[in-house]
Amino acid sequence: MTLLQTPLDALHRELGARMVPFAGYDMPVQYSEGIIREHLHTRQAAGLFDVSHMGQLVLRGPGSAELLESLVPADVVGLGEHCQTYALLTTPDGTVLDDLIITRWGPETFFLVVNAACKTEDIAHLRRHLSGQTLEVMGSQALLALQGPTARAVMSRLCPQLEQLTFMRGLSVTLDGVEMYVTCSGYTGEDGFELSLPGADAEMIARKLLAQPEVAPIGLGARDSLRLEAGLCLYGHELSQDIDLVRAGLFWSVGKARRPGAEREGGFPGADRVFHLMEHKPALRRVGLQVEGKRPVREGQAVLDAQGKQVGEVCSAGFGATVGGPIAMAYVERALGEPGTALAVDVRGKALPVTVATMPFVPQRYFRG
């Protein structure tokens, strides 16, 4: 299969990236400094990520808010202009087709960012439900993410109007003649920004950002370890069509106006089952695991109780460079999911001790003003 390329492909190679296939794209997994240094640089300064493989869509037309509300549990009707919300496309069983970010651009216009691996299915799913609206796929648009504690200083230096942009808000800006839509959001747990801009201008803007002394290029490897430390879900790991949103610990993503007894109760696929699970609790829950020692655990390995019985399964794992050791997320039996509970992971027949940990593993530092 021929891999697709993002508009920054040549720049990645110039910077010495190791390229790997990911969601149908040739993507940089790391640069010469390596994943751990890239991870720590993002926690200490500012990292630039190419996330142009993500799907960027614009939904327009009368009833767009109501259409989205019929597909996701979020409060879309009540979303303010240039405000964002995290949302889940749910199935009739209350499980997850994909997670996405919805931004209101206008009264009947919404900007959607969906996962790369799911975007073809997401687009088809949305189009099946259109009733007078239009769905534009922004195929030539790039998406960059600048993340880390100095990201705000960098962006404020280049675009002063972004200095006070708060978490989950967006703003249209122009930098060196390039029109961009910038949101205060990201996937690392750090303060930061995502920049949606024309692909033809992406390399110029990326070079300008990389010329700032705080900024370094960061690959997919560190992006994954950063999101793991931040306790954030990854579709295909913590989320899938086999995992309901309550088990995933994401009932908070159901808007207050959509909850039982509220003004627009339910109305999304699987609402009845989600509300039932919220009341009666699913058998499993998503937890963090702190691993004893330096030996890593892996996705798919069994989680064991004190008697050696399997009580769950690891869904994501890696080295937490900020934490200083291996960490994981897992689904375990609800009664064993309290922080401090001693468990083990079966690593090639050996029970490796782990402890249920509070997530996120590192404090989130979103800028809320």
Q: Does 210 map to a domain?
A: yes
Among residues 103, 95, 99, which one has the least CA distance to residue 118? 99
pLDDT (0 to 100) of residue 261:
97
Span 319-331, average pLDDT: 98
Its domain, for residue 349, covers 283-369
Where does the pLDDT of residue 36 fall: very low under 50, low under 70, confident under 90, or very high at 90 and above?
A: very high
In the chain, the percentage of residues whose pLDDT exceeds 70 is 100
Residues 277-316 as b or e (16 or more Cβ within 10 Å = b): bbeeebebbbbbbbbeeeebbeeebbbbbeeeeebbbbbb
Co-location of 201 and 350 in the same domain: no
Co-location of 13 and 144 in the same domain: yes
Name 55's Cβ contacts closer than 8 Å, sequence gap at least 6.
112, 113, 114, 115, 116, 118, 119, 122, 123, 137
Co-location of 362 and 291 in the same domain: yes
Q: Are 48 and 213 in contact (CB under 8 A)?
A: no
pLDDT (0 to 100) of residue 1:
78
Co-location of 217 and 287 in the same domain: no
Q: Does 216 map to a domain?
A: yes
How many angstroms separate the CA atoms of 164 and 240, rounded? 36
Q: Does 330 map to a domain?
A: yes
Co-location of 146 and 49 in the same domain: yes
Give the mean pLDDT of the chain: 98
Name 58's Cβ contacts closer than 8 Å, sequence gap at least 6.
105, 109, 110, 111, 112, 135, 136, 138
Q: Does 238 map to a domain?
A: no
Residue range 151-180, pLDDT digits in tens = 999 999 999 999 999 999 999 999 999 999
Residue 52: what residue type?
S
Q: Does 311 map to a domain?
A: yes
Where does the pLDDT of residue 314 fall: very low under 50, low under 70, confident under 90, or very high at 90 and above?
A: very high
Which CATH number covers residue 349? 2.40.30.110
195, 212, 229 — which closes off a domain? 229
Co-location of 154 and 19 in the same domain: yes
Q: Does 259 map to a domain?
A: no
Span 239-244, average pLDDT: 98
Co-location of 46 and 144 in the same domain: yes
Q: Does 215 map to a domain?
A: yes
Co-location of 295 and 174 in the same domain: no
Residue range 257-307, pLDDT digits in tens = 999 999 999 999 999 999 999 999 999 999 999 999 999 999 999 999 999
Which CATH number covers residue 185? 3.30.1360.120
Q: Does 123 map to a domain?
A: no
DSSP bridge partners of 99: 88
Co-location of 225 and 287 in the same domain: no
Token pair belonging to 312 = 């769950």
Indicate the number of domains in the chain. Answer: 2
How many angstroms separate the CA atoms of 2 and 306, rounded? 48
Co-location of 183 and 330 in the same domain: no
Co-location of 223 and 143 in the same domain: yes
Co-location of 210 and 147 in the same domain: yes
Span 187-210, average pLDDT: 98
Residue range 6-21, pLDDT digits in tens = 999 999 999 999 999 9
